[in-house]
Structures are given as C-alpha cells and as structure tokens.
Structure 1
C-alpha cells in the first residue's frame, strides 16, 4: 500500500463538498485539489499539507510536523504531519483547514 487509504477517506470526507474539489494520485499517494491547486495529500502514513512559506515556518513549530523533502530537498511551502498529529478528527480538520485557507488565496488553475 503506497498510502493510508483510511486516512485518504477521512480527508475526502472533509473536502468533498467544497467547490472545485478533485483528487488524484500523485507523489506515490493521493492528492486533494481545490480549483486545480494541490491542497493536501497522503503519502504512506503521513498527511502532506500545502501551507505557503510563511505558514509552513509557523507550522513547523508544532509537534509531529517536519519539512516536506520528497525529493531530498526541502520544499519550503509544504509540510508532513505524522500520525499522532492527526489521529483525532478535530486535529485532522484543523490541519486540512490550514491548507484550504492557503490554497483559497491562490488563483484557480485553468
């Protein structure tokens, strides 16, 4: 299993009613999009979030977070959150909403 399908289903439930929602396989996992912009995703057992550089720096101060380094080089606008940081539904919703908030500030992709 390349990604946690149960976690992907939980994220899907949080996002499915949002305008412009779609999902597709990327990064060896599942990515969730809003208006064509990547918002968040699941890789292996971790939650991947697109927060923008400023929000990423702040989020990295939280427990169970780390820089996204998918290619071996840190991506300054994204983080991973480890399982203890999103096991609780309220925590998962918090993190997903942080990514949604950032992605809603971006122009839609055509």
Structure 2
C-alpha cells in the first residue's frame, strides 16, 4: 500500500526545517524532534493530537485512529475531503504542536 504522494508534498511544504521523514506501515511519517507529528497514508492523514486535543479533533470531523480492534488515543485519521485547500495547514499545525510538546528523542 503506497501513500498519497500529492498529499505528502502538500504536507512537506507545511513542515518546519527540522522535520525528518520516515516510511512506516505503508505511510510516510513526518517526525519533529524524533516524534511523529503526522503521516500520510493512501487516502487519509494521520495526525498526532495528544490526549488533551483528541476530543477537539474528533469534533472537527476526524475519526479515531484504530489498529486492528484497538483505538489509539491521541491519534486521529483525517479523511481526504477534510484536508482540501487550506484546511490541511490546521491539521498539520495540530500534529506539529503535539510533537514539539514532547521531549526530543535521540537520533538513531
């Protein structure tokens, strides 16, 4: 399963200079200080919201992120129609803010 290259380019343009990219689980993850901010999948955007902003993201239209039968608290999936136009910047900012609020991870 490949990620959406066009969406990845749009996300890349919104990322700060210190971002790194990592392919994982068929997606392209964008890492800030070693912490995932968001990831582009084949037809959606995964955003790290943290637990404190999770409910607000759900209220804004995102879906809970699930792996198998487990719901991953602090992460949401945002459908492609919710990241059209300028809306993408808001979702990316949420992920960046969450990643920047975490302690940096040492480089591998």
Same fold, TM-score > 0.5, yes or no = yes
- Write the mapping of 1:1-110 to structure 2, written as runs, cut at 5 A: 2-15=2-15, 18-63=16-61, 65-88=62-85, 90-110=86-106
Deviation per CA, 1:1-46: give whole Å up to 9, x if none: 521110011101111xx24310010121100000110110111110
* Counterpart secondary structure, 1:74: strand
Give ranges in structure 1 of 5+ residues lacking alignment.
none
Paired residue total: 106
Higher RCO (CA-CA < 8 Å; seq separation 6+): 2
Give ranges in structure 2 of 5+ residues lacking alignment.
none
Q: Would you say the 8 A contact 1:41–1:48 is kept in 2?
A: yes
Displacement of 1:71 in angstroms is 3.1
Moved over 6 A (4+): none
The whole-number CA distance in structure 2 between the counterparts of 1:72 and 1:22 is 30
- Cα RMSD (Å) of the superposition? 1.2
